[in-house]
Amino acid sequence: MVEDIVKSLGFLCLGSRLRRIGERLQADTQQIMEELGVSLQAAQYPFLAALDRAGPLTVGELAQAVGIAQPGATRTVSQLLEMDYVDIRTSPEDQRRRLVSLTSKGQELVDYSRQSVWPRVEQAVAELCDDFSGPILQHLANIEDGLAAMPLAKRANPNKERKS
């Protein structure tokens, strides 16, 4: 058996590690979804949830809402459009904006998911995390807030005041 170097290196490889854990969680979530008959990628769920919660949103607002870059949102929206879960119309006041909203099929999927899928996933993840004491979500929030306040590159820089 070979040593897990990413684990051994600890903080040095935290990025790789979070990423691989996240991929694992998404893949497992995907499996739960398939077992419950939802034909959707796990990464597309947050888009539907955001639309359900916040009404019609533009592509850019969706990108913000799910926390990814705009081109990723454009792509996912196209896929959801293709699958007929969302509807797109150009904003009348500003023809650059494209307003994305749930179709009735999309709303049905959300309703079903909220009832049958999400509680199960949430419970499973919570069970996975809750065994141990400290609140991991607080940790992650702190990490994200910390990154927003000062990127690693700045933290790594000896003279922290002025940077490129």
Q: How far apart are CA 113 and CA 91, in angstroms?
A: 29
Q: Which pair of structure tokens corresponds to residue 122?
A: 């949430």
Is residue 55 involved in binding its own copies (CB under 8 A)? no
- Comparing CB distances to its own copies, the nearer of 53 and 105 is 53
Nearest-angstrom CA–CA distance, 128 and 36? 20
Q: Which of residues 89-148 bind its own copies (CB under 8 A)?
A: 118, 120-129, 131-144, 146-147
What residue type is assigned to position 4 of the chain? D
Nearest approach, Cβ of residue 38 and its own copies (Å): 13
Asked if residue 162 binds DNA (CB under 7 A), the reply is: no
Per-residue binder mask for its own copies (CB under 8 A), 2-21, x = binder: xxxxxxxxxxxxxxxxxxxx
What minimum distance in Å lies between the beta carbon of 18 and its own copies? 3
Residue reference for tokens 């969302």: 86
Q: Which residue bears the tokens 């509680």?
A: 119
One-letter amino acid at 41 equals Q
